[in-house]
Structure 1
């Protein structure tokens, strides 16, 4: 039996429920720029993954299955029978995995800045980052990631946001951070994405290195009922850089379903 943990969550807004799932070494606050667009139209549930933010620490190694169980526990505790779900990066893997296990719960999915159909070279690159962090330490490798996450213009204009994001990673327990990074690196949705029937918005940034348009086109082709959006100029941290644009796309997509 997969053990679920009681993760900390926040409920705000009004309308149909929408669960938002953050990525590696982040927390609920990653959705701050998206919320003003979403809360007038959705009852938004944000939560911290286990070992992240204010959520409890796990006692040992965990996998994608446990993260799916945690999301189901949050849903049970909020009492919503069905909902919309959207996740960023690793969250974009948790959402579809949840939809595969609980198809009757999911009204729609947002797969934001995520990856599937990685080539051997793609996999080698992401595992290379994991190995470098294991060997050298997370802070030592982190600086190289800010260029992958943010555009040059945003780094220049908002150094505080970039600094806070890096601090958020460093403040995450290193065992937890590496655990979720390994889940992200090792998860391959290609074998089962075609079984995810929920209407799905597949969205990424034009210059996202690891979750690039090439992989997202394959995700879109594999899903039976999906729409692909490539946001021009953006990299991986599109929630921090353009959260309102992401939110507008989620809102527009859900409205097309009615």
Structure 2
């Protein structure tokens, strides 16, 4: 599989980057919508991050399905908007950008704050999102302060992450800058995902790394319980950046959830290992 193609896309008055791996023959950026068989998979990064810590997962998924990773406006190498975009505004950008590329139906996969963008996109245009995957969702309803979140993230980086995942995350944090990070942090802390997810109609997979202190198991189970169609899955031996450190296991879980179950197979309500 060749490297993803980077496409600059302006939508809703903002500019972001879409990294596209398309398997469907003849399917190119800007082509008429509706050519792919079945939905694509779209990956959304968290606060301060970019598509780079999703690259391993993107590569594995792209062997099986059309796959897109997004650098939302203000993150990665994208230009910073004149003002901070709300969670809803980032979701509107995501939906508009993919529509321009002819991606009308897709499985949305968010990590960390990206789970908030994913939930909001599924609420705004539910007809386009048949399945929703939330990896390491935030913010834990029993740890609502910035200090508690910072402590959990620090523990994760020190004890449960690989050197490569830490390098990717910290490099992106530096590129993001403290001012932009803190502005988005307040938005992240104020978004009550446990309330918003109740309005999602699509089946939901809540996924976490076994040792993730940012998204502990009890919190993930509470979140999954907020919707009647949710499943919970735990990946052994890793922390918050589960998609980088266990990319094959995560990709297999996403494909089984979104495509095998969609084909009519029985799916267990709790997939935890």
Scaled by the length of structure 1, what TM-score is found?
0.84
Q: In the alignment, does 2:124 pair up with 1:101? A: yes
Moved over 6 A (4+): none
Does the alignment pair 1:7 with 2:16?
A: yes
Cα gap change, 1:4 to 1:113, in 2 (>3 Å): farther
The equivalent position to 1:147 in structure 2, one of 142, 149, 155, is 155
Please name the residue that 1:29 is paired with: 52
Per the alignment, residue 147 of structure 2 pairs with: 128
**Distance of aligned partners of 1:34 and 1:117 in 2 relative to their CA distance in 1, 3 Å threshold:** closer
User: Which residue is equivalent to 1:59?
Assistant: 82
Which structure 1 residue ranges, 5 or more long, are not aligned?
Answer: 133-140
Structure 1 pair 161/86, CA: closer, same or farther in 2 (3 Å)? closer
Q: Deviations over 1:53-96 (max 9, x none)?
A: 12221102321111111111221221122111110001111111
- Measured in 2, the distance between the counterparts of 1:78 and 1:27 equals 20
The answer to whether the aligner puts 1:195 opposite 2:204 as a matched pair is: no
8 Å CA contact retained: 2:140, 2:214: no
* Mapped partners of 2:139, 2:168: distance in 1: 28
Aligned length: 238
SS in structure 2 at match of 1:60: coil
1:243 aligned to which of 241, 247, 254: 247
| Residues in 1 aligned to 2:222 and 2:144: alpha-carbon distance in whole angstroms | 16
The question of whether the paired residues in 1 share the 8 Å contact of 2:198 and 2:227 is answered with yes
Structure 1 pair 4/68, CA: closer, same or farther in 2 (3 Å)? farther
TM-score between the two structures when normalised by the length of structure 2 = 0.79
Equivalent position to 1:42, from 45, 62, 65: 65
Give the C-alpha shift of residue 3 in structure 1: 4.8
- Asked if the contact 2:43/2:58 (under 8 Å) is kept, the reply is no
Cα distance change, pair 161–195 in 1 and its aligned pair in 2 (3 A): closer
| Post-superposition CA distance 1:98-124 (Å, at most 9, x none) | 1111111111111110035602xx102
Structure number with higher helix proportion: 1
